[in-house]
Structures are given as structure tokens and as C-alpha cells.
Amino acid sequence: MKLRLFAGVSALVVTAGLSACSSSSDASDDGSTAIDVWLMRDSVSERFQKDFVKSFQAAHPDIRVKVQIQEWDGIGEKVTAALASSDAPDVIETGNTQVAQFARSGGLLDLSDKVGELGGKDWLKGLAEPGAYEGKQYGIPYYAANRVVIYRTDLFEKAGVDPAAIKTRDQWTAATEKLDAGDTQGIYLPGQNWYTLAGFVWDEGGDLAVESGGRWKGSLDTPEAVRGMEFYKKLQALGRGPKDSDEANPPQTDVMAKGRVAQIISSPGGANTVVENNPALKDKLGFFPIPGKTAGTPGAVFTGGSDLVIPTASAKQDAAYTFVKELTGDTWQKKLAVAMSYVPNKTTLAGAVASDPGASAMAVGAAEGHATPNTPGWAAVEAKNPIKDYLTAVLTGGDARKEAAKASEAITTAMNAGT
């Protein structure tokens, strides 16, 4: 799943001087192999993309690259149709949690034998695990982004709270209690921020759903998952976030910009939106990783981002693989991380963003990154999202165990509806 960091803009096709249609021929006029690549809107800047394509074609003069920018809305259906056709592109960027649904159709090339040479032992598990399906690797990690704590440096200083000293969840809640005074909210945490809940569930050793005997079952009613919910409830009470809406309704960055909110949980890009809405907060925002239960381990986070896949229908798989290998290799991963404030695809490359406060905080959390259950059936859960209803029910007085049982049953039904 792509963790949305940017606002959409009008349709634009960026190419390397060539057509942006789907595959139509194996070679261009100069005898080189032409590959078609689908990349997603706003995943990378136009400048980065052009720099990479120019460098790639200089290093590989026998390969010509045609890039078409795709929109996130409706991309699942478009990719599904392309994979079933005889005219699929050669490389496709896909949200990390979408890989399973495309792999199930048999439309993706199995790249398991390439994992070693691509440095797979160091991949972020939140990208690598959902890029695999039934024991085979189809998606190659491209980039990652995850949530961190964005905080008001002036409010922390006024309350006498040192953010550098916050290493555990207990220290975090103690600091937030101190910040939550007068007209200042210790934290603005909307009641239906279910990705944040998932992190707390994972911290406790639980999960959203588990597989047994080929059947998936919702697991929010396990003791571990319920403890995650109890922590969420405790933290959410240290502010005035609504109990019946998520971080987009109203946009939590708007709330932070307009009011005295000490903290929000967001991707680092949210800080830019806060400052855009209230320029007076420039240089008054900082970042730290979501704390874990112990000082030595950061909090678990949902890893959003993208993988690159190669369709089985591609007639130019060798050239496509060369493109994927280069873009996901160490050299361009470091450049991508710096250019876009992303987390690189390998834990060994975290130092590339050391000078970027938001990205470096993300990189720490990314080491404990997770993904949603790796099965095509998870899309049906997100479509109805009983987890949001569960959160609201508990935060408005419902019994956590009883409400968790209801939510788990709804998750089970949704995940197995098509089996």
C-alpha cells in the first residue's frame, strides 16, 4: 500500500524522449531494446526520474526506457487488466501490499532466484514480506515511508519535556500527560487511526489476522491485540481527538496548525503541510520515532511504500530486470532517499538520510516495520474496515474484549468471502 505523502496533480507523462504507450515492439529504431515502465504519480520527483533514466541509458545504451506515470486511483483494476493482456508493460511500480493480489493471478515473474544478488537479506521486512506470495518473491522493494511523531519544539520546551529522553512507551505517555495541560493537547490522536493501532498491536506480539490451515481469521480478540487497544485508548485520552473519525477528517495537520497540539502521529511530510497552513510554526516542529515497549526497540509501524514487479507477459524480462536492479541498488537508493526523504529499501542504507530529521526518524522505525496480512483478501477488510468501528466502539465506552471479538469476526468474514 502506498503511504500517501503528496497531493495529486494533473495528469502528466514523463518520458525519456519516447512514446509512453504500453509495449508495442521489442526494439526501437536504433536496434536497442525498448522497455515500458509504469511508475506512480508523485512517488518520485520529475527531476529524479529524468536523472535516473538519463544515467541508466548512458550505462545501458542497448536499453531504451519509456516511462508512463499512473494515478493511484483505480490502479488495481488497471494493473489487473494489463497483466491479463498480451501487451503488458515491462516494469510496474505497485503498492507493497498490492503484490499478493497480482501474484495470485500468475501474472508476475517469480524473482526468488534474484534475491541474493539484490541484497535481499538486508531488505526492510515491511517491503520484502508483502512482496512475496506463497513463498516466492515477486516484488522487489523500491522505497519505504512510515509514521513518526511530529512534535512542537516550543511546547515541549515550555513543559520541560526533553524529546531525546523519550525512548519507551511509558516515558512517552508520562511526557504526554505533562504536555496535556491547559489549552494544550498532549497529542491529537483521532479515534479511527487504525494504522497506529496496528503498530501497538504488533508491539504486544499480536496481529490483525492470522492464517491457519489455509484460512484467515481476525485476531484482534487475542490478549496481545487487546493490550494494544488498551494502550491506544490511554494515549488517545491525552488530547481531544474525535473518537469517531480518522486522521483525514478533519486533516490532523490542519488541527495542529490551528491549535495548541503538542504531537501528532504522521509521515514526516505532514510537517510541511502544518507549516504551509501556519508559517509561524516554521522551525518549531521536530520528529522522533514512535517509541516501543523497551528502550532498545522502537515501536512497530506500518511500512507503506512501493515494490517493483515484472509481468510474465513481458517479452523483455532481462532488460526489465536490469532496470529494476539498478533502481533498487545501493547507489540510486541513497540518491532517492536524499531527494525524496524516503527510507531506503535496505536497513544497511539508513545512514543515507542521517542529515534529514524526519527521514532519519522514519528509518529508525522502519527497522520494526510491518505490513498488513499478506493475502488478496485483505483488500475486502480495508473496503469495509471494521477496525475503525472497533476503535470508536471501545473509545466511546464499549468493552474492549467484546468489541474485539465482533471486529475479528467481521475481519474473518471479509477475508474469506471469495474463497
Residues 383-417 pLDDT 10s? 889 999 999 999 999 999 999 999 999 999 999 98
**pTM to 2 decimal places:** 0.83
pLDDT above 90: percentage of residues in the chain = 83
Q: State mean pLDDT over 127-150.
A: 95
On whether the CB atoms of residues 314 and 92 are closer than 8 A, the answer is no
Question: Rounded mean pLDDT of the chain?
Answer: 91
On whether the CB atoms of residues 314 and 23 are closer than 8 A, the answer is yes
The pLDDT assigned to 28 comes to 54
93 burial via Cβ count (<10 Å: 0-12, 13-18, 19+): buried
The pLDDT assigned to 367 comes to 85
| Candidate from 55-59, 84-88, 220-224, 385-389 with smallest mean pLDDT | 84-88
Task: Please say if the pLDDT value at position 22 is more than 90.
Answer: no
Q: Write phi, then psi, for 30 (nearest 5 degrees).
A: -90, 10
Distance CA 200, CA 225 (A): 8
The pLDDT assigned to 72 comes to 87
Task: Please say if the pLDDT value at position 243 is more than 70.
Answer: yes
Q: Which residues, including other chains, have CB under 8 Å from residue 351's CB and lie 6 or more apart? A: none
418, three cell numbers: 471469495
Q: State mean pLDDT over 45-49.
A: 92
Distance CA 345, CA 315 (A): 27
Decide which of 302 and 29 is more confident. 302
The pLDDT assigned to 214 comes to 85
Measured from the Cβ of residue 310, the count of other Cβ atoms closer than 10 Å reads 28
Read off the pLDDT of residues 169-182 as tens digits, 9 standing for 90 and up.
999 999 999 999 99
- Give the confidence band of 151 by pLDDT, cuts at 50, 70, 90: very high
The pLDDT assigned to 18 comes to 29
pLDDT above 70: percentage of residues in the chain = 92
Q: State mean pLDDT over 202-225.
A: 96
Q: State mean pLDDT over 247-253.
A: 94
| Candidate from 4-13, 61-70, 83-92 with smallest mean pLDDT | 4-13
On whether the CB atoms of residues 147 and 261 are closer than 8 A, the answer is no
DSSP letter for each residue of 291-304: PBSSTTSPPPEE-E
Distance CA 391, CA 11 (A): 37
Residue type present at position 50: K
Decide which of 368 and 315 is more confident. 315
Measured from the Cβ of residue 374, the count of other Cβ atoms closer than 10 Å reads 18
On whether the CB atoms of residues 307 and 141 are closer than 8 A, the answer is yes
Read off the pLDDT of residues 325-369 as tens digits, 9 standing for 90 and up.
999 999 999 999 999 989 999 999 999 999 999 999 999 999 888
Distance CA 9, CA 251 (A): 19
Task: Please say if the pLDDT value at position 125 is more than 50.
Answer: yes
The pLDDT assigned to 42 comes to 85
Closest-CA residue to 25 (of 114, 87, 105, 91): 87
The pLDDT assigned to 383 comes to 85
Distance CA 305, CA 202 (A): 19
- Give the confidence band of 27 by pLDDT, cuts at 50, 70, 90: low
The pLDDT assigned to 93 comes to 97
